[in-house]
Structure 1
Amino acid sequence: MMRPILRWALAVFYAAAGYVHLTAPAPFLKIMPGWVPWPEAVVFWTGVAELLGAVALVQQLSTSLRRAAAIGLALYAICVFPANIHHFALDMARPDHGLGLGYHVPRMFAQPMLVWLALWTGDVTDWPLRRR
């Protein structure tokens, strides 16, 4: 029972994030590492990926599509990790420390959890909660 609830929660999280990427991209552009080409396009397409991943994660027609969405969202969480690290470094370099350690440290720990949660809720893995 917990897996479907968390699947929907993760889908809502990614749908909201995707919506914000598309409608208010400025904060994401500010934290984009300088080595990323075409930052506006990257923010736009990451928003699209989040929205599509969210929909595919909760659709009921195809378990293979749900699994593909879960893998895609897990890979997405890995790919955006450099931007999170860059944001952390930018904030800590500010005199007021920006959002501070109370924001960034939990965020750093949450990223691997998002990877696992996508894979677990998408039925890609049962680890470490094996079904009996």
Structure 2
Amino acid sequence: MNTPATPAATTPRGSPGSSGRPAGGPPGSGLARTLVRWALAVLLATAGVGHFASAEAFRAQVPPWMPWPEAVIAVSGVIELVLAGALVLAPARLRPVVGWVVAAFFVAIFPGNISQYVTGTAAFGLDSDAARLARLAFQPVLVAAALWSTGAWAAWRRRR
């Protein structure tokens, strides 16, 4: 007996309408998405701990116009640790929301990266304008990774 396959099960990966996850799976599922989500969590956790272990290095990213740089460093470190935990521990139904929050955080800290480039401040091995410029180009990759790995983009597209 031949039964027709459902469209979701037959949609090739990478084609329009494909979410890049198993048919019927929760947002942000699939091995590649999970690995990217965990990599982002490790990156955020490492940076979050670094905010307290070597706060002076993070001062290079706080724009000169921002008040209370020590508080900014501490608060952003706590936020990074919380976001790292959320990327790993949030239930699948909340992953898209976590993705949007992580992406927004990466956008919110971008002015600090710009400030480090404009002021020419060396930190984190970024001791040249070329290295600091390359870091600026990498920030959109982090935003995209947060949205993709959590299924935030796919969930947004489904709602539209």
- Tell me the TM-score normalized by structure 2: 0.69
Asked which structure has the greater CA Rg, the reply is 2
Q: How many residues align?
A: 122
In structure 1, stretches of 5+ residues that fail to align are 128-132
Of 70, 75, 78, the match for 2:104: 75
Deviation at 1:61, TM superposition (A): 3.1
Give the distance between the partners of 2:67 and 2:97, measured in 1 at CA.
Answer: 26
Deviation at 1:123, TM superposition (A): 1.1
Identity of aligned residues (%): 34
Of 15, 29, 43, the match for 1:13: 43
Check if 1:30 corresponds to 2:99.
no
Residue 91 of structure 2 aligns to a residue in which SS? Answer: coil
Give the distance between the partners of 2:79 and 2:97, measured in 1 at CA.
Answer: 12
Check if 1:87 corresponds to 2:116.
yes
Question: What is the aligned-residue RMSD (CA, Å)?
Answer: 2.1
Match of 1:56 in 2: 86
Check if 1:110 corresponds to 2:116.
no
Give the distance between the partners of 1:22 and 1:71, measured in 2 at CA.
Answer: 25
**Could you list the per-position Cα deviations for residues 21-61 of structure 1 after superposition, in whole angstroms to 9, with x for gaps in the alignment?**
12211111233112212211111111111111011111153
Match of 1:2 in 2: 32
- Tell me the TM-score normalized by structure 1: 0.82
Conservation of the 8 A alpha-carbon contact between 2:99 and 2:150? yes
**Using a 3 Å threshold, how does the CA distance of structure 1 residues 82 and 60 change in structure 2: closer, same or farther?**
closer
Conservation of the 8 A alpha-carbon contact between 1:33 and 1:86? yes
Conservation of the 8 A alpha-carbon contact between 2:45 and 2:84? yes
Give the distance between the partners of 2:36 and 2:103, measured in 1 at CA.
Answer: 15
Deviation at 1:62, TM superposition (A): 4.8
In structure 2, stretches of 5+ residues that fail to align are 1-30, 156-160
Check if 1:125 corresponds to 2:159.
no
Match of 2:11 in 1: none
Match of 1:130 in 2: none
Conservation of the 8 A alpha-carbon contact between 1:54 and 1:69? no
Deviation at 1:88, TM superposition (A): 0.7
Give the distance between the partners of 2:138 and 2:60, measured in 1 at CA.
Answer: 21
